[in-house]
C-alpha cells in the first residue's frame, strides 16, 4: 500500500468517497499544479511582531489555567501560512512539549494535512482557542476562552490566512459564535474577519468515531475548493 493510500485509508475514505480523484492528485505530483494551489501560492503579509506576542502569551496569567500548566502552547507552523487550523486547547502531551497536536489526535491531524498535501511546518499554522492545558482534558471554560481571545485574534491578524479550518465545537463557538451543534456549522462557508472559514470534526472525536472520517474529508475538500477559488480570483 502506498503512503497516500495509507493516509486515505486512515481517513476512512473508500474509493467511492474520493471527492478529489487520487489519480488526479498523484499526477499533480509531476505537474505540481495541486501543490501550487495549496503551498504558498498566495503570499501573506504576516510581518507583525510575532516575538512580542509570543512573549506576552508565554508569560500570561490572565486566567487560572496558568496555575497548572507546564508549558504555554502558542502554536506551530508558518507565520505567513495560507491555512490556519484552530483546535481547542493543549492536552497532556502538548502541555509537556509546548507544541499543539503532538499526541494521537495530532498524528491524525498530520495525516489529514498530508492528504491535503500540506504539513504542519509549511504554509500551515496550527493554533488553539486556549494556550494552556485545561486540567483533566476538560473543555475550556468561558472565562478561560475570553482571557485567551485577544491572543487568537492577534495570531489571526498576523497570519492573515486565506482559509481557516475550525476543529470541533469549541473552536466553532469561539470563532463563529453561537452555541450550536457541530453539524449545524458544517458544510457552509463562514466568514471570520472576512476570512473564509470552515468547520470540521476535532481529530480526537474522529479517533473515537471512525465512521465520521469520511465526513471530515468532505469538509477538507470543501476547504480546498475555497482555497482554489481564492487562487483563481487572484490570477
Ligand atoms: N487537542 C486540541 O484541541 N489541541 C491540541 O493542541 C491537542 C489536542
pLDDT at 235: 83
**The whole model's pTM is what?**
0.84
Q: Domain 4-15+43-234: what homologous superfamily?
A: Uracil-DNA glycosylase-like domain (3.40.470.10)
Q: What is the pLDDT of residues 201-229, one digit of tens each?
A: 999 999 999 999 999 999 999 999 999 99
pLDDT at 10: 63
CB of 105 closer than 6 A to ligand 1? yes
Distance between Cα 206 and ligand 1 center (Å): 13
Instruction: Write down the domain spans for the chain.
Output: 4-15+43-234
Q: What is the mean predicted confidence (pLDDT) over 64-93?
A: 98
Tell which atom from ligand 1 comes closest to the C-alpha of 170. Answer: 3
Provide the mean pLDDT of the chain: 86
CB of 128 closer than 6 A to ligand 1? yes
Q: What is the mean predicted confidence (pLDDT) over 121-144?
A: 97
The three cell numbers of residue 70 are 507546564
Q: Nearest residue CA, atom 6 of ligand 1?
A: 100
Q: What is the pLDDT of residues 15-56, one digit of tens each?
A: 333 333 333 433 443 434 444 444 444 444 444 599 999 999
Amino acid at each position: 500500500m502506498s503512503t497516500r493510500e495509507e493516509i486515505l485509508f486512515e481517513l476512512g475514505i473508500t474509493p467511492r468517497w474520493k471527492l478529489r480523484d487520487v489519480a488526479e492528485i498523484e499526477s499533480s505530483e509531476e505537474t505540481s499544479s495541486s501543490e501550487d494551489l495549496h503551498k504558498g501560492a498566495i503570499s501573506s503579509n504576516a510581518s507583525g511582531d510575532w516575538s512580542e506576542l509570543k512573549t506576552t502569551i508565554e508569560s500570561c496569567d490572565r486566567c487560572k489555567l496558568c496555575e497548572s500548566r507546564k508549558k504555554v502552547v502558542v502554536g506551530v507552523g508558518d507565520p505567513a501560512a495560507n491555512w490556519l487550523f484552530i483546535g481547542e486547547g493543549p492536552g497532556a502531551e502538548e502541555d509537556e512539549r509546548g507544541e499543539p497536536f503532538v499526541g494521537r489526535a495530532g498524528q491524525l491531524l498530520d495525516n489529514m494535512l498530508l492528504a491535503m498535501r500540506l504539513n504542519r511546518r509549511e504554509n500551515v499554522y496550527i493554533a488553539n482557542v486556549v494556550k494552556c492545558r485545561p486540567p483533566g482534558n476538560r473543555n475550556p471554560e468561558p472565562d478561560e476562552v475570553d482571557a485567551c481571545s485577544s491572543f487568537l485574534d492577534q495570531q489571526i491578524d498576523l497570519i492573515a490566512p486565506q482559509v481557516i479550518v475550525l476543529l470541533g465545537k469549541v473552536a466553532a463557538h469561539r470563532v463563529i459564535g453561537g452555541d450550536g451543534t457541530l453539524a449545524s456549522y458544517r458544510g457552509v462557508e463562514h466568514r471570520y474577519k472576512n476570512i473564509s472559514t470552515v468547520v470540521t470534526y476535532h481529530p480526537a472525536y474522529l479517533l473515537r468515531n471512525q465512521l465520521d472520517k469520511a465526513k471530515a474529508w468532505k469538509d477538507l475538500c470543501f476547504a480546498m475548493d475555497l482555497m482554489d477559488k481564492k487562487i483563481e480570483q487572484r490570477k
